[in-house]
Structure 1
Amino acid sequence: MSNQQFFVLVIGCAVVTWVPRVLPFAIANRLVFPKKFNQFLNYLPLCILTALLVQSLLVFREGQWPLVKIPELLACLPALVVGYYTKDLMKIVIVGILCIALLRIFL
């Protein structure tokens, strides 16, 4: 594969990734949604983040109950406390990363 083909491939991948993520926001900003629909949309980020959190804290195996990942759960608790009091995503991420790093070092 030549450099030019590789460059075209990277640009193509960027466009394919960008369009479905950005285009809906550009279109939705110009539309006026009903009040009930806006209330529903306000809960989507919370639902998505909760689903991601639960998925990262549990191990799912077919035919068994989910198992809790103890280090991830222990790192999650201080991050949740920081999130409750600060409501700052950067602080939450930093606390979560520091906690999981410290747990992996010492456990």
Structure 2
Amino acid sequence: MEINLYILLIILGSAIVTFVPRVLPLVVLSRITLPDWGMRWLSYVPIAVMAALVGQELMLQDGKLLFHKNLELLAAIPTFAVAIVSRSLLGTVVAGIVSMMVIRLVFP
């Protein structure tokens, strides 16, 4: 298999663009001490990212905002309830799977 220079440059460029934003903050932030307010702020980043991903997946279908006939949104209600009460990742995943399975059986 022949590697074209153009393809090689794209692969190397993609590797650099992927590597730098992940490693640079790690290197910089490992050498400094952040204030307490900065650490508290950073603790909310994973939750905000997860909420954005889940919210988009629940609310959008085919690029359009959809509230009616949205089975995923309906299944999310008991799933969120289990997550809040149990604080268990395994329990939440099982509740989500079972909720979606029951809803798809009831509403084919």
Which TM-score applies when normalising by structure 1? Answer: 0.62
Change (3 A) 1:95 1:77: farther
Instruction: List gaps (5 residues or longer) in structure 1.
Output: none
Deviation for aligned residue 1:35: 0.7
Query: Secondary structure at the residue paired with 2:52?
Result: helix
Supply the RMSD in Å over aligned alpha carbons.
3.4
For 2:33, the equivalent position in structure 1 comes to: 32
Change (3 A) 1:14 1:87: farther
Structure 1 Cα separation of the partners of residues 26 and 97 of structure 2: 33
Check the 8 A contact 2:75/2:99 in 1, yes or no: yes
Instruction: List gaps (5 residues or longer) in structure 2.
Output: none
Deviation for aligned residue 1:102: 5.0
Check the 8 A contact 2:78/2:95 in 1, yes or no: yes
Which amino acid in 2 is paired with 1:73? L
Moved more, 94-103 or 22-31: 94-103
Query: Secondary structure at the residue paired with 2:32?
Result: coil
Percent of pairs with identical residues: 28
Higher Rg of the two aligned structures: 2
Deviation for aligned residue 1:26: 2.2
For 2:16, the equivalent position in structure 1 comes to: 15
